[in-house]
A and B are shown apart, each in its own frame.
Chain A
């Protein structure tokens, strides 16, 4: 993968951070990016959390991959999360590979790349690391914390750890504890990487394994209907069946492309570590088996959003969050958006979703400013 990450903006966190695994890290880097301008009273900041394969480059062209940022449809000037109005912050998660402390960094003790000697990290560790960044930026209370998928998990973890640090919270297409199906799918990806003979080879990268992991995961991000409508049984090169194992069907060729494009921008060990963090996520367990306790001290206003065709983090799992919030009397709104684009809906141009996101933020922003005037 590209390793030209020297131009990346980084915060070196000097303070020690005790990880869930028991190890303590310090003097570690957290790569981040900001969009828009922080206003005078620092009340327009939104912390966006990225998902499994995302990074800090939320919108505009990612300078490393030269592709559009992962949330380009939602974040930018005049968009739902309007950077003319809001100050958007996003950090590469701990364990990531876009400049933040992760398994592809050099271990100062051995002078070798960490690889699987990197400590196992959790969603909680990721969130704690990002709290340092918010403190560093001098922001006392965020207008919103928002994210989809693993980003949504970080939203939930953030409000549970720092109940007074966000006016609003927008967990999208996520779950408060990773389901057996999702752990299984992640394990499939990890085993694909580990089965690649190059995985243990220090001078090479398990590109094939990582590509297969990405292909399998990519299927889970789409819906059956979406796949059928987009690809059906269409053949590649409009020819006939070749009676071979080449990519006869368009869907095969599409997945192969997705797999090979992914290995150019992602580190296989980061994939292992981040999927592990997702699997370990169980907010209910963190709060003695009662999810409501995670939210009992928060006064954040929640907007939980799910998508009708998302089978990876289906509506009922999102609703578990809503139920827990209601049970402790929290301020929560919830809507399931109709979309045939599957789990990926939160990253795509789904107008009803973007409209809800935009209007929820606007109303929250107006409410805060009205309160201040009074």
Chain B
């Protein structure tokens, strides 16, 4: 399991209800179900991945988060999880609002566009950055709304979204983001993981 999922699963307490939005092949869900006794549900737009989840015994609904989240009642999950897909939505703010409504707490991870390799790529090569985390060309990328860790924190502050926990990942190393190391982490982290409500 990738490190990011480790971070997410450590934030989630045992025996809680979790909705994994964009759950992919269900790796995180399965881990949470087996190891933390979480009651997990998933939402995934790709049929083949949904089928994979169902065959693993995971309850996953085929559907697009931008249209389907509306059906879940308020605070019906302890955690709503969104792993590295916020930037791919047409209206990320709407999706985030839905997640905050459905989950008592929400966990969002974002690829950090402020990572130094990305900055240098654009600065020196003058072309759209392609990295391990963001491996697409400008013309075929699903990522419509890239942001930096700082952008995301600013966004939360401006919308009165409370950040309970901010973690970051660099080359598989996990650390915490604080107000004092923010500038540093915004340059040296590949990924940000936030617990918000």
| Nearest CB in chain B: distance from A173 CB, A | 15
Task: Pick the contact of B71: A327, A355, A362 (CB < 8 A).
Answer: A327
The yes or no answer to A356 lying at the interface (CB within 8 A) is yes
Q: Are B59 and A335 touching (Cβ within 8 A)? A: no
Choose the segment among A81-89, A139-147, A219-227, A363-371 that binds chain B (4+ C-beta atoms closer than 8 Å): A363-371
Interface residue? B61 (CB, 8 A): yes
**Interface digits, A320-350 against B, CB 8 Å rule (1 contact, 0 not)?**
0011001101011111111000000000000
Is A162 in contact with chain B by the CB < 8 A criterion? no
Residues of B within 8 A of A335 (CB): 47, 50-51, 54, 62
Closest Cβ neighbor of B52 among chain A residues = A359
Q: Does B14 contact A (CB under 8 A)?
A: no
Q: For the complex formed, measure the closest distance between the CB of A36 and the CB atoms of chain B, giving whole angstroms.
A: 22
Q: How many A-B residue pairs have CB under 8 A?
A: 64
Q: How far apart are the CA atoms of A323 and B62 in the complex, in Å?
A: 12
Contact of B54 among A322, A323, A333, A366 (CB under 8 A): A333
Name the B residues within 8 Å of A322 (CB-CB): 61, 71
- The answer, among A329, A332, A356, A367, for a CB contact under 8 Å with B76, is A329
- CB-CB under 8 A for A334 and B61, given A355-B51, A359-B54, A363-B55: yes
In chain A, positions 186-230 with a C-beta closer than 8 Å to chain B are none
Chain A residue with Cβ nearest B44: A335
Provide the bound-state CA to CA distance between A308 and B62, in Å: 12
**Docked complex Cα distance between A362 and B57 (Å):** 8
Bitwise, B38-73 to A at CB < 8 A (1) or not (0) is 000100000100110111111111110000000111
Taking CB atoms, residues of chain B closer than 8 Å to A366 are: 57
Supposing A333-B61, A335-B47, A336-B62 touch, asked if A355 and B55 sit within 8 A by C-beta, the answer is: yes
Counting from the closest, the 8 A-B pairs by CB-CB distance are A363-B57, A359-B55, A333-B59, A323-B71, A334-B61, A335-B50, A335-B62, A333-B54
Chain A residues packing against B (C-beta within 8 Å): 301-303, 322-323, 326-327, 329, 331-338, 352, 355-356, 359-360, 362-364, 366-367
Task: Give 17 new A-B contacts, CB below 8 A, not counting A326-B71, A333-B54.
Answer: A322-B61, A322-B71, A327-B72, A327-B73, A329-B17, A333-B59, A334-B50, A334-B60, A334-B62, A355-B55, A356-B55, A359-B51, A359-B55, A360-B54, A360-B55, A362-B55, A363-B54
Query: What are 21 residue pairs bridging A and B, where the CB atoms are less than 8 Å apart in the complex?
Result: A301-B59, A302-B59, A326-B71, A327-B73, A329-B17, A329-B76, A331-B59, A332-B59, A333-B58, A333-B59, A335-B47, A335-B51, A335-B54, A355-B55, A356-B51, A356-B54, A356-B55, A363-B55, A363-B56, A366-B57, A367-B57
